[in-house]
Amino acid sequence: MILLFDLGNSRAKWATWAEAGYAHAGSTANGGSDFADSIMRQLRPLAAPDRAVAANVAGPRAISAVREAAQSLWRLPVEELRPQGYQCGVRSAYSEPAQIGVDRWLAMLAAWNRFRRAVCVLDLGTAATADVVAADGRHLGGLIAPGFSMSQSLLLEQTAAIGAAGSNPGPVFGRSTGDCVANGCLLSVIGLARSALELMERECGAGGVLVATGGEAPRILPYLPVPHNHVPTLVFDGMLLAGGLR
């Protein structure tokens, strides 16, 4: 059994994988004082894994808590994956490959290896990211913007008179200030996704595939103009590939 950690900007997610597929899974919010205790509580019932692998964009505190838990429970080291210039058939567009977020890199590896066609990879969470990989494995570059919830939070924090965002956003004009905020933030992320798809078609021609992951994907995907592949385990899938685990 392999234990996988995806330590993201706002949540730490984990799952176990064996030949039968994914089994146990859990998550906890990053940044709280009980983060380490929460990780320990969730992992304690597990049988000892054979390996533990992590992708970390949350900083040193998160990876330290995960390592301490694995060491305390099973005397098991945690291997931390890092982005590469070339891996699993994909070549990074970055002149300094280490600077790309490892979660973005792993999602690209998983998406391109699944379809072996041009892919637009959307990770819709705290940040909204879009990366395009050509059919031959060349990463053409990406886009990053605040995600839907972050956009609302930033706007509400920086303005005194708005109050609160609307609770039922849609791609329409709002009829209260709160609805205008919610709908505008939703449409900004939809616009990012649509622009990434247009750029992919311009660079790669027709026939590219949209692959999406991230906690806010279900909110955004219904409004996109093309069929999509929603793969919630995309970063975990990339971790298995990059770690030579399947």
pLDDT tens per residue, range 202-220: 999 999 999 999 999 998 8
Instruction: Describe the strand order of the beta sheet including 11-18 as a list of residue ranges.
Output: 21-29, 11-18, 2-7, 51-56, 78-80
What value does the mean pLDDT take over residues 144-170?
Answer: 79
Query: How much is the pLDDT for 4?
Result: 97
Residue 208 C-alpha from the chain's centroid: 20
CB 1 within 8 A of CB 47: yes
Across 63-98, b (16+ Cβ under 10 Å) vs e yields bebbbebbeeebebebebbebbeebbebbbeeeebe
CATH of domain 86-242: 3.30.420.40
pLDDT tens per residue, range 132-144: 999 999 999 999 9
Query: How much is the pLDDT for 160?
Result: 65
Domain boundaries, the chain: 2-80, 86-242
Q: What percentage of the chain carries pLDDT values higher than 90?
A: 69
Average pLDDT along the chain: 92
Q: Do domains 2-80 and 86-242 have the same CATH topology?
A: yes
Active site residues: 103
In CATH, 2-80 is 3.30.420.40: yes
